[in-house]
């Protein structure tokens, strides 16, 4: 039986961000790439909270009839994936987190809106940034509820994600290990083969 794999993209990205690696994953899995709320074809309706994005994903899993699956998330998608895996630990068989650290308070910065039409709601970006700047501490606490074996991919020194927060996440998730692919934050795009070399064998384990 083919295990479904669900892919959650980063802030400002849509499900099309997984186009390059999805065909390889589809050789052994039923692949479902999703848009998060405020992105692409998902609902552009506030409030744009991590909890609501989590509930959106769970509702989609219910609609697809996916009772057991592997879950992959990049950056924001990884933070949402942690929420899903903590809320429904029996449902997630294996978890892959690409360049995701434990959320810690940080100095707020005001992002500039890119020019022209966007594939995402700019109000969503501002809302998510506020939650990243002042995260709910229960997000870190809930990492202990994740039961799935977890692979954490780190982008190395060129990534904006602080390395110590990735180590903290690995230490807080009960069954997690880290692999560093030093190409920056966009690992699956900058080094797709290295990403697949790490992820495909991990997902193949029983």
Q: What is the pTM of this model?
A: 0.97
Q: Which of 92, 88, 73, 93 is nearest to 169 (CA)?
A: 73
Collapsing DSSP to helix, strand or coil, 114 comes out as coil
* pLDDT score for 22: 97
* Contact (CB, 8 A) for 1 and 93: no
Distance of alpha carbon 20 from alpha carbon 3, whole angstroms: 20
* pLDDT score for 29: 96
* pLDDT score for 130: 95
Mean pLDDT by 10 residues, the chain (206 residues): 94 97 96 98 97 98 97 98 98 98 92 94 96 94 98 97 97 98 98 98 94
Q: Which of 11, 7, 25, 2 is nearest to 119 (CA)?
A: 11
Residue 184 is inside which H or E element, if any?
Answer: none
Q: Which of 166, 163, 105, 169 is nearest to 133 (CA)?
A: 105
* pLDDT score for 109: 85
* pLDDT score for 206: 81
């Amino acid at each position: 039986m083919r295990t479904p794999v669900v892919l959650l993209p980063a802030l400002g990205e849509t499900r099309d961000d997984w186009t390059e690696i999805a065909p390889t994953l589809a050789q052994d899995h039923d692949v479902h790439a999703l848009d998060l709320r405020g992105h692409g074809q998902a609902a552009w309706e506030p409030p744009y909270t991590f909890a609501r994005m989590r509930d959106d994903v769970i509702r989609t899993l219910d609609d697809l009839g996916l009772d057991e699956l592997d879950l992959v998330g990049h950056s924001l998608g990884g933070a949402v994936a942690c929420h899903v895996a903590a809320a429904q630990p029996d449902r997630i068989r294996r978890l892959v987190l690409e360049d995701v650290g434990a959320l810690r308070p940080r100095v707020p910065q005001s992002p500039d809106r890119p020019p022209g039409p966007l594939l995402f709601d700019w109000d969503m970006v501002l809302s998510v940034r506020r939650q990243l700047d002042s995260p709910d501490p229960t997000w870190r606490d809930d990492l202990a509820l994740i039961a799935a074996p977890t692979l954490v991919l780190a982008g190395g020194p060129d990534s904006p994600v602080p390395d110590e927060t990735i180590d903290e996440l690995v230490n807080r998730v009960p069954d997690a290990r880290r692999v560093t692919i030093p190409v920056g934050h966009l690992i699956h795009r900058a080094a797709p083969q290295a990403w697949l070399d790490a992820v495909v064998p991990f997902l193949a384990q029983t």
